Each structure stands twice: as C-alpha cells, then as structure tokens.
Amino acid sequence: MTTNDLIVNHNLNVDNIITYEKSGLFNTAVIRREDESTTPTIYLTELQIFVNDVNIMYNNRESFDAYFANWSDKDTPLPASQEGGVSRDVDPYLFDNVLSSGIETSGQTPINAIIIKDIPLTSVNDIQAIVLYNRAGGWIAPNANGLIIELYNTKDDPDLTNVLAYTSQITKGVFIYRYDFPSIDTYSLEFSPLSSTTLIPTPSYANGGTWNATIRSVASITTTPDPELNILANVVIDGTLTNTGLQSALNAKQNSIVVSTDLNCNTITTEGNATIGGNVSITGKLTNPNQPCFKAVSGISSQVPAGTPIKYNTEIVDNDNAHITSTGEYTIRKAGNWFFYYSFQSNGEAFNVQLQQNGVIRDQVSTDTTPTLNTDLGCKGMAIIPCVVDDVIRVFVFSGSVRVENADEYHSFGGYLIG
C-alpha cells in the first residue's frame, strides 16, 4: 500500500508496537466534587502527577492556566476564598512543591472545582501515579470527601465533557491519596515513607491509602491490507474481526438502478422530486396524504339573494384547513390544477350563479326563465381551474336568488387538487 500522506487520527500500530497515539493524551487536570455540591470548603495542600519518575506538575508550573470554578460554569474563574490558591499569582498554591501543614489551597461556596489547564500533552498510559495531599488535622481532613480527580484534553474537548481518566470518589478524610496508573510498574525510584516532593509515598504513610485510577477504554484497531486491491481487507477492533474485506462489502452493495433494472422492494421513499419517464402500473392503492381536498354543505336551509356568496357553513372534510365557514370561501394553499364543483336549487325566479376565482367568473349555472310555480330546479356546476397559492374560490349569486337545503347533504361545495 503506497500513499503520499498518512493521516492518523488515533493510534498507529506497527508490528504490534504503538508508534503514535493520540487517544488518551491529556493536558488538563480537574479536582471537583462529583455531586457538584459547593460545601464544605475545599482545603488541599499539593497535587503531584508522576511520569517517568518526575512530578510534571511542579516542573511545568510556569505554563499552567489554573483557577477555582463552579463546575456548572467551568470557564469562569473564581477567586480563592481564604489564603492559598491554585494560580502562581497566589502564594502558596497547589503545585508549588511545598508540603506545608498550613492551608495552601482553599475554596468555599460557590467553588466546587479546581481546573488546571495547559499541562504538556501526556498519555494517561504513561502516568505512574497521581498523589493528592490533603489538608490534615481534626475537622479539616474530612472536607476532601466527595472529591474526584479527572483528566481531559482541551484541544479535542474544550468543554471538558469527555473524561480520559478518573479516580474514585474520596470517602474518608486522610492526609494523602495515591492513585496508581498502569505505568506504576515502571517507577524506578524508592517509595518514600514520608511526604515527599520528589518521590511517590508509600500507601501506609499518615493513614493514607492507595487506589487504582480508571482509564477510559480506547479501542485498539489493527488492519490488514489486501496487496492486490490496495485496500484494507480486514479490520480488527479489540480483537474482534469486524470487517472481512472491502470487496465483500461491495458485493453486498445494491446495484445501481439503470434502464434495464427490474426493481422489487417493499417501499420507496424520496426526499425530493421523482421523475418517471415511462408508464407506471399499480396493482395496489395509490395514496397521496398531502393532496388537499375539501367538501362543505349548508348547515341550514336558506335563501341566498343576488350579490352575496353562498355560505356552505358546515365542513365535511378540509384537510388543508383552508375553507372559511363564515364566508363560504376556499383559499388555495397548494398551487396546481384544481377540480371544483358546487350545487344549489332554484328559488322561483331566474338566476345566475358563478364560480369565481378572486372575484372573476370561471364557471356559471344560470337561467333566464322563471321556473314554474312550485317547481325547483336542482343545479350543479363543475370546472377545472389552474390556481396559485392564496387564490380565493367562492360560489356567488350574481343575479336572482337561489336556495340551499341542509337535508342529507343535498347541496355542497367542494374540490381537490388533481395535479
């Protein structure tokens, strides 16, 4: 496999040796109350992170951006509550390499977090141990209960939401907490029986304890190239074969639809328009739930005089909510060719009833002969009208008078889009 540029987003494994690893690099350490409570006051003395037998916190302190915060508003620094802080601007501070019996770092409500950014990018797998010295003595030591330590990478995760490694929650007030990482086995110096600025202390010192930190799992990915196809043939994630070759995936891919393709499927869904150049044969039901239609009838029997619209004031169906019962008008919501119909009966005189579009006649039913006494003419008109959005369609008595009845939907006004 030949390439001009190789971009590795996570791990590069060559002959089972990781020669490059982006996953698991941290540059930010956080000490916070896991439940985000703001009491009691945080009293701490020193934070140490040992890598290659060296406390990297003290050695790199000049580059840190460190501050108190409330975890719910983690980008806003808060001032130290009493004496001592986490910034080099306040002396003493949390990584000054001084193990004092006095207060070195204190933060009270609304503080519940200490955030230290701009630590040189370091793999969590290279950490030997994190050591946290608590403020000892009497009622102060239990103030550490509820605290956890987390590691983040602000370059990939500026909002501090993807924790890379973390410690268990502190549940007892002791002087020292030591959290071992996998590289503790590479520690080559002695373990100090006392507090130390250069050595990892023994777990028994000052009733302290030793716990194992948890590293967030990052999948190990290895690949096998296919020399003939010049592609990745096999992909193994955490020891499980997840892809037996790109070619097999291609074999399972659906063929392209061309002129000669016969396509059998259960459903077809399109996000946009579909153009069909030939004939469509349908053995089932053709439905269009977006096709607008309406039908309205008269809710009362009434005479309608000249110069007024016929108000079909009772809706049977109106799936576009476009018919107005108070005026009898229908407003077009979707442009196209529409089919309309309307019906009424005579009222003992000559009449002219029009189907109007924006007040312009498009169809009419009329007679200039006065009907015979006690004879009613049942009348119906139909028309196809091209419409645009916001056109207003109504049935209008232009001259004479007519009647509409409310019995059995005798008289109605309706329509639907046909295309």
Instruction: Convert 375-392 into a string of H (helix), E (strand) and C (coil).
Output: CCCEEEEEEEEEECCCCE
According to the per-residue pLDDT averaged within each range, which of 26-35, 75-84, 289-298 is highest?
26-35
Per residue in 321-355, pLDDT (tens digit) is: 999 999 999 999 999 999 999 999 998 899 999 99
Name the one residue in this structure whose structure tokens are 């102060």.
140
Mean pLDDT of the chain: 83
3-state SS class at 71 = helix
Greater model confidence, 10 or 76: 76
Among the ranges given (123-137, 204-218, 280-294), the one the predictor scored with the smallest mean pLDDT: 204-218
Among the ranges given (206-210, 328-332, 370-374), the one the predictor scored with the smallest mean pLDDT: 206-210
DSSP string over 350-412: -EEEEEEETTEEEEEEEESSPPPTT---EEEEEEEEEE-TT-EEEEEEEESEEEE--GGG-SE
Per residue in 298-315, pLDDT (tens digit) is: 888 889 999 999 999 999
The per-residue pLDDT for 129 is 95
What's the distance, CA 124 to chain centroid?
Answer: 30
Q: How confident is the model at residue 236 (pLDDT cuts 50, 70, 90)?
A: low
Q: How confident is the model at residue 243 (pLDDT cuts 50, 70, 90)?
A: low
Residue 210 one-letter amino acid: T
Q: What percent of the chain is modeled with pLDDT above 90?
A: 50
Structure tokens at 143: 């103030």
3-state SS class at 237 = strand
Q: Whose CA is closest to 26, among 141, 164, 159?
A: 164
Greater model confidence, 142 or 28: 28
293-417 to CATH, choices 2.60.120.40, 3.40.50.970, 3.30.830.10, 3.40.50.300: 2.60.120.40
Name the one residue in this structure whose structure tokens are 């406390």.
55
Look at residue 14 and tell me whether its pLDDT is greater than 90. no
The domain segmentation of the chain, as residue ranges, is 24-215, 293-417
Interval 76-87 mean pLDDT: 75
According to the per-residue pLDDT averaged within each range, which of 120-129, 243-252, 271-280, 362-371 is highest?
120-129
